[in-house]
Amino acid sequence: MSKHQFQTEVNQLLNLMIHSLYSNKEIFLRELISNASDALDKLNYLTLTDDKFKKLSYEPKIDIVINKEEKTLTISDSGIGMNEQDLIENLGTIARSGTKSFLEQLSGDAKKDSSLIGQFGVGFYSAFMVANKIEVLSKKAGEKEAFKWVSEAGDSYEITKAKKDTHGTSITLYLKDEESEFLEEYRVESIIKKYSNHIPFGIFMDKKEYVPAKEGEKEGKSETINSQINKAAALWRIPKNEIKDEEYKDFYKQLSHDSTDPFLWMHTKAEGNIEYTTLFYIPSNPPFDLFKVDYEPGVKLYVKRVFITDSEKELLPPYLRFVRGIIDSEDLPLNVSREILQQNRILESIKQASVKKILSELKKVKEKDFEKYLEFNKNFGKVLKEGLYGDFANKDALLELVLFKSSKRDGLVSLKEYKEAMQEGQKSIYYISGENETMLRNSPLIERFKKSDIEVLLLDEEVEAIVVPMIGEYDKTPIKSINSSDVDEEIAKDNDKIDEDKYKEILVKMREILKDDVKDIKISNRLSDSPSCLIYDKNDPDFQMQQMLKQMGQDNLPKIKPILEINPDHEIIQKITESKDYLYLNDVSYLLLDQAKLAEGMKIEDVSAFTKRLNKFVAKGL
């Protein structure tokens, strides 16, 4: 016998399971059956692809045994099984990055927590919600020794050598006194039909059933019969018209370990040169690892109903990583490797068709029920925009789905709606990017657009600052940042023409003062209230893009100087120009530059100098 300590995170998890989760305890059975199904999937795959296992004789099934006298519930499978090392790795540790953040999300909110449990792959431990002791007896296929793992949910567990005639795993739960409901056949059967009806393997349990009278007998009688209690039919293989909505929902919960109904699902059977079936779900809530680099993909790959993998991120593009579901191909080889998967033309065709289908279904929701689509956008809109960065084949479809904040609307606007509302003579779709929506709405750069009643998209999400400049155009209409140097000419009108000679002297002097900080100083057409603003040469990345590039590791960027534009109608510029008193022009020039920086969310390099200059003018004004 060997005694082991649980990993610290497991201890925390067990404590939460036992003391915090007080409802929806039935999910433990869903999780244990799901694990049993995975074990059968793995062995099934090996018997078809690995010579060492091809001669292995076994009947893939899951057995449920209730012992009311002992108060035990046992879930057994004839799957791959575990040896001692597997038991330590699978049941003694949570070997995944992000464990700490996951535990922090567990709160005692039963509805929320029961959804997180399965998503994170720690479903086995949910059994401690109903059991005060658990025994796991397992024998790995192809090996001679069996082992028993035992724990009473303390800080340790024991592993001993044991005897088991066949490969597979049996998990015995010693139920708590108050959990006797899980010793009732009808209760267990109802849970299995709710969550595990379409597990592709038979689930068997002894049930009392009425047997009609045989010849010579007066009446029938009740007998205990080992019966299959689930359909064991792969849902995605059943014709759509034979599947009820509730069956789709229940299958999603079993597949995703999510306790909420899905937002949307789409079931496709393709026939022709390539034959395959897909069943995709979009969750109602974001997966907890949605924005983690090591996110778990949500799509399982099958070949002719044989499970191949659920860890391949290439099955769908990263910006659809929230999608859950099944791809079942008729044409891929069973022993397809990860390397082959990444280069396989059949899978690439399925992937492209699947992406188009998903985006098409989302477009239907957007057009038919915009309020519902707003819910999707709240959860997954940021992720969807990532697709604009690299999925050029589906760029047009994505452009129809993405939504943005706007200077003229309280809600969100699509590019199509923006274009339909453009002013007569407006040449481009305009946007401004930054970290804060309030700052963007009050930016000096937007003043002239407001005055001319021209709508501006407000991009306050990091992903928007990266992808929108790359879009280039929508429906043959250019998309431009309002802090680009070439936008001034587009929005200028005939009566906006400025007498440049009037300001020539002040511009020359200011350029000399600020030569180390700005690329140029110009008279602005775009300002109405503010004295100054910063723009960028049309060939240079703006401040927001520079910040993005630095976050992406490009710290060696050359210094990119902005262009300072000054408002010729502002009182400060008017007074200096008319008086030709340049005594304070040095201080004024730096104040105009620094306040323009602040308005754009930039930092002032010399805060002390800025404060002194500001105080000097405040005192002078008093």
In DSSP notation, 114-168 reads HHHHHHTT-GGGGGGGTEEEEEEEEE-TT-S-EEEEEE-SSSEEEEEEE--SSSE
pLDDT in tens, 487-517: 766 666 544 567 777 888 989 999 999 999 9
CA distance 479 to 467: 12
For residue 523, the surrounding DSSP H or E stretch is: strand 520-523
Q: How confident is the model at residue 94 (pLDDT cuts 50, 70, 90)?
A: low
Q: How confident is the model at residue 462 (pLDDT cuts 50, 70, 90)?
A: confident
Mean pLDDT over 467-472 rounds to 90
CA distance 463 to 88: 41
Q: What is the mean pLDDT of the chain?
A: 86
Q: How confident is the model at residue 102 (pLDDT cuts 50, 70, 90)?
A: low
Per-residue confidence (pLDDT) for residue 34, from 0 to 100: 87
Return the structure tokens found at 271: 């026939």
pLDDT in tens, 359-373: 999 999 999 999 999
Residue 536 DSSP class: B
CA distance 194 to 573: 74
Least confident among 31-45, 62-76, 107-121: 107-121
The length of the chain in residues reads 622
CA distance 572 to 620: 14
Mean pLDDT over 564-591 rounds to 87
Mean pLDDT over 391-402 rounds to 95
- 67 beta partners: 72
Asked if pLDDT for residue 76 goes beyond 50, the answer is: yes
Q: SS3 of 483, please?
A: coil
CA distance 504 to 511: 11
Show the beta-strand stretches assigned E in 33-129.
Answer: 61-67, 72-77
What is 235-248 written as a DSSP string? GGGS-GGG--HHHH
Per-residue confidence (pLDDT) for residue 20, from 0 to 100: 55
CA distance 60 to 44: 8
Per-residue confidence (pLDDT) for residue 228, from 0 to 100: 93
CA distance 279 to 237: 9
Q: How confident is the model at residue 118 (pLDDT cuts 50, 70, 90)?
A: very low
What type of residue is 399?
Answer: L
pLDDT in tens, 423-441: 888 989 999 988 889 989 9
Per-residue confidence (pLDDT) for residue 312, from 0 to 100: 86
Asked if pLDDT for residue 190 goes beyond 50, the answer is: yes
Q: Give the full edge-to-edge strand order of the sheet including 168-175.
A: 2-5, 156-162, 146-151, 131-139, 168-175, 72-77, 61-67, 202-211, 221-228
Per-residue confidence (pLDDT) for residue 289, from 0 to 100: 85
CB atoms within 10 A of CB 150: 16
Q: Any idea of the CA torsion for 382, 388, 394, 398, to the nearest 10 degrees?
A: 40
Mean pLDDT over 328-336 rounds to 83
CB atoms within 10 A of CB 486: 13
Per-residue confidence (pLDDT) for residue 494, from 0 to 100: 46
Least confident among 391-400, 544-553, 570-579: 544-553
Per-residue confidence (pLDDT) for residue 553, from 0 to 100: 67
Taking each helix axis as running N to C, give the angle between helix 607-621 and helix 585-599, from 0 to 180 degrees, rounded to the nearest 10: 120
Per-residue confidence (pLDDT) for residue 58, from 0 to 100: 84
Predicted TM-score (pTM) of the model is 0.76
Enumerate domains of the chain plus CATH numbers. Answer: 2-232 (3.30.565.10), 262-388 (3.30.230.80), 402-621 (1.20.120.790)
Mean pLDDT over 187-204 rounds to 90
- 481 beta partners: 431
Whole-number percent of the chain with pLDDT over 70: 89
Contact partners, residue 273, CB within 8 Å, separation at least 6: none
